[in-house]
Amino acid sequence: MKYRKRPVVIEAVQLLWTNWSEMCEFAGVGYLADGKPEGCFIASDGHALPKGSDWRWPDEIGMRIPTLEGVMLARQGDWIVKGVHGELYPVKPDIFAETYEAVEGLDG
């Protein structure tokens, strides 16, 4: 037997420096503390810098997102999706584009 996924309207925000505050409010994580964004940052070698490490402007932003499967790393450009029960999860931009389309005229 084959099945089709039911259409569900979700909320999502893309993780970018330009919308950091909007994204933090949406996900409930990553707020600024002492002028430094909380969460994590991606070094040039691709590894997340540990929380509490010496501050420097990162090569790339990232954020630890609490999900149903545990804490996951969302990287710059990833979409943070809020599911139907308020659960969060990061989605890579190419997967997001293949899976979701904008919905006009619906209020959340």
Read off φ and ψ for residue 79, nearest 5 degrees.
Answer: -95, 140
The number of C-alpha atoms within 13 Å of 81 and in the hemisphere containing its C-beta is 18
Model confidence, pTM: 0.69
Parallel/antiparallel/unpaired status of strands 79-82 and 88-91 = antiparallel
User: Tokens 């954020």 correspond to what residue?
Assistant: 63
pLDDT in tens, 30-69: 555 554 445 555 555 555 555 555 555 555 677 778 888 9
The full set of domain ranges for the chain reads 11-99
What CA–CA distance (Å, rounded) separates 55 from 51?
10
Q: Residue 87: what residue type?
A: E
